[in-house]
Homo-oligomer: A and B are copies of this chain.
Amino acid sequence: MPKELVQILIRAANVRIERIVSHGHASPADFWYDQAQHEWVIVLKGTARLQFEDGVVEMKVGDFINIPSFRKHRVDWTTPDEPTVWLGVRYGEVTATRKDSTAT
């Protein structure tokens, strides 16, 4: 399975705009994105399923979602029939640190 193609369109202070092309790509089963920045994503082409710790979200063309910083997520599935094209905007402090409500 080929890796996702990520094209960085804009890179500015605390903002990054990316175009991401997935072709049947999914995150490894036990892999979770866990990012210091917020990420707003919209599907430009194709269909996909994002997984969060509390469930999955189906996304088709035009659907968008805001993923707050440190909300764990993974790409559960993208359609194998055609490339899925995402636009993503990462924003907020790159150096933010997790605010855990519990400590061990």
Contacts and interface: CB of A to CB of B under 8 A. Distances in A.
Q: How many identical subunits does the complex contain?
A: 2
A89 B15 contact: yes
Contact of A40 (B17, B38, B66): B17
Residue among A12, A13, A64 with max Cβ neighbours from chain B (10 Å): A12
A-side interface mostly: strand
Contacts of A44: 42, 44, 62
Interface string A25-61: 0000000000000101010100000000000000000
Interface of A: 9-10, 12-15, 17, 38, 40, 42, 44, 62, 64, 66, 87, 89, 91-92
A40 B9 contact: yes
